[in-house]
Amino acid sequence: MKLNSRGEIFVSLLTIIFLLLVVASLVTEYMRIHTMQSKTEQQLIQAVHIALEASMHDSHRQDGTGIIYPQIARDAFYSYLFYNMDLDSSYRLYESGGGLIYRLENLNLNITEDPPAVSFSCTMKTQSIFSLFTGDIAVTFNIKSRNARIN
């Protein structure tokens, strides 16, 4: 394609700049979501591990058995969500200015006694920081921790 006039060069330059801005905004949004996903996943993994650790009864360890107290695990898990992750009672996280960062939906906490394990799944939903992108962005988490301190 041969550009013959200054107008064609200007239009081509504007098109390239527009495309670069779109790509930059997509990359920025992807990195924001990826960072949020990584941080939230690490916190949820920590919550599951703390729930398991707090609810294990070690006095039976010498017998090679593990006893877990489900209510203690449940209390420790939700306590971590509210006090360490700063979620409200509807599992939403707000920034200091009051804007919603994300919300956790479809929370499913399972505690099994044999073998002692805690598993958790949920969906994190957030909005794009760009008004051009509408709708929720959803990220699913599936986390499991089991007691390996027996035998």
* pLDDT tens readout for residues 91-122: 999 988 888 899 999 999 999 887 888 999 99
Q: Is 15 a domain residue? A: yes
Any domain includes 103: yes
Please count the structural domains in the chain. Answer: 1
Is residue 39 situated within a structural domain?
yes
Residue 151, domain member (yes or no): no
Task: Specify the pLDDT at position 132.
Answer: 67
What is the band of 26 on the pLDDT scale with cuts at 50, 70, 90? confident
Closest CA to 75 of 109, 43, 24: 109
Burial of residue 120, with CB atoms counted within 10 A of its CB: 0-12 exposed, 13-18 middle, 19 or more buried: buried
- Which tens digit of pLDDT belongs to each residue from 27-85? 988 999 999 999 999 999 999 999 988 888 766 666 667 788 899 999 999 999 999 99
- Whole-number Å distance between alpha carbons of 87 and 80: 9
Residue 119 lies in a domain: yes
- Domain with 10, as residue range(s), is 6-146
Please report whether residue 51 resides in a domain.
Answer: yes
